[in-house]
Amino acid sequence: MPAVVSMLILIEITTTPPSIVSEGGVAGGGGILSSRKTIAWNEVTRADCIMNRSHKISNVRVMGANERIELGGGVDLQPVHDFIWSHLPPSTTHPCTIPLSSSR
């Protein structure tokens, strides 16, 4: 059973198209096992982000009434953050959070 689950995860990762941030909104996800999510700018209810300890944005979340799209990828997402925030009213945007460091 674990081999089947691993194979399904691999298929989903390799068939999922990249997320798109455009003048119309944000689209993400999709693939063999899940459907593509699209949130137009006028449908966004909240947008927030996570900043790593080196103060680079590592994750951006855009939420609509029924959808949530998370953007990440291991690179600094500051340009993506700036583009998204420029398309949204201040009431929907929230400052980036920095996770607390572990005590190890």
Sheet with 20-22: list strands edge to edge: 20-22, 25-29, 36-40
pLDDT of residue 57: 96
Q: Domains in the chain, please, with CATH?
A: 2-92 (2.30.29)
Q: What does pTM read for this prediction?
A: 0.81
The string of pLDDT tens digits covering residues 14-52 is 777 888 899 999 999 887 777 889 999 999 999 999 999
Q: Are 44 and 62 in contact (CB under 8 A)?
A: yes
pLDDT in tens, 48-101: 999 998 999 999 999 999 999 999 988 999 999 999 999 999 999 999 999 886
pLDDT for the residue 71:
94
